[in-house]
Amino acid sequence: MAKLEHYKAWLETLKEPMKAAFTRAGFESAKYSSDFRRFFADSDDQGLERWLKGNLSPEEHKEWELYGN
């Protein structure tokens, strides 16, 4: 599960104005960002696809495969 330290590290990789927007939005909001999820999955060495399968319902994962990929 993503933690605050992942969020802070991810913020350091962003350029303005994205960094400011996600700083204002906060950690909970960032959890819904595909960019943050990918960063977290890569930093946790599990890969995005594996993370998605473990955290999305089967219906959500199917939708991700159709539209989010």
- What are 6's two structure tokens? 């992942």
Measured between its terminal Cα atoms, the distance across the chain in Å is: 21
Q: What is the pLDDT of residue 68?
A: 66
Domain assignments of the chain as residue spans, ordered by start = 4-68
Task: Give the whole-angstrom CA distance, residue 1 versus residue 9.
Answer: 15
Q: What is the pLDDT along the chain (69 residues), one digit of tens a residue?
A: 788 999 999 999 999 999 999 999 999 999 999 999 888 878 766 667 777 888 889 999 888 888 865
Residue among 60, 14, 42 nearest 51 (CA): 42
Instruction: Note whether 51 and 37 are within 8 A (CB).
Output: yes
| Span 31-49, pLDDT tens digits | 999 999 888 878 766 667 7
Q: Which helix H or strand E contains 44, and what residues bound it? A: none
